[in-house]
Structure 1
Amino acid sequence: MEKKDALEAFAALSQPTRLDVIRLLIKVGDAGMMAGEISAQLDVRQNTMSANLSILARAGLVRNERQGRGIRYFADMRGMGGLLSFLLEDCCGGNPEMCRPFLDDIACSCMGKAHGP
C-alpha cells in the first residue's frame, strides 16, 4: 500500500459512523449487509450512510455487490490487510525478520477472508 492510499484509509476511518460501519461489516463477515440494514443497525439516515459507504469504498475498505435494487456491502479484507501491513512494514527497529511472522499471520488471516478480485 502506498502512503497516499494509507492516508485516504485513515481519513475514511477518522469519522465515527464510518468506523462503526467497518467494524460492523468485519463482524458480519462473508454475509455482508444491505445498505439499508447498515443504516438501520447504526441508526443513520440512508442518504448519510450512502455517502459514508462511498468514502469507505473509495478508500478500499469496503466493497459492494448489487443485489436486485439494493446493494450489499462487505469489509474488504485485502484493503484492511494492506493498511495493517503498511503500518507494520518497518517494525522491530530495522529488523523486519523479527516481525515477519506477525506480518505474515496478519496477511494470511486477511487474505483468507478476502473478497473480490
Structure 2
Amino acid sequence: MSRTHRRSAAALVYDAQNGEPAPRVVAKGYGLLAEMIVQRAKEAGLYVHEAPEMVSLLMQVDLDARIPPQLYQAVAELLAWLHRLESGAEDQPAHDANATAQDVTDVVATDVTSGSAAR
C-alpha cells in the first residue's frame, strides 16, 4: 500500500496561557502508529479531527517542533473548530479563528474517513 493510502495522524498541543507562541506537533505517524495515536487520543478524551490536508502539512513538521508561521491560519481554523465543539456551537460558522487562545488545547488531526470527532 502506498504512503498516500495509509492512515496517518498528527497530534498538536497548545498552551497560550503559559506563553507558548505556537502549537507544537507532539506525535505523528503512519499506519499502525497512526492508529495508536488516534486510539490513545480517544481514550484520553481528546478531540480527533478528520483533516487529510492538515495531516499532510503537519507530517512535514519535526516532532516536538512548533508549527511554522505558514500553518498558523490553517491551525487557527482547527482550533476555532475545537472551540466551537467545546462551547456546544459546532454547527455555527467560525467568527474568530483565535477564539481558543486562552485555552490549553490538545487535538489530533487524522486522515481517516470513518468515524467522527471524539472527546
> What's the TM-score once normalised by structure 2's chain length?
0.28
Q: Higher relative contact order at CA 8 Å, sep ≥6: structure 1 or structure 2? A: 2
Higher radius of gyration, 1 or 2: 1
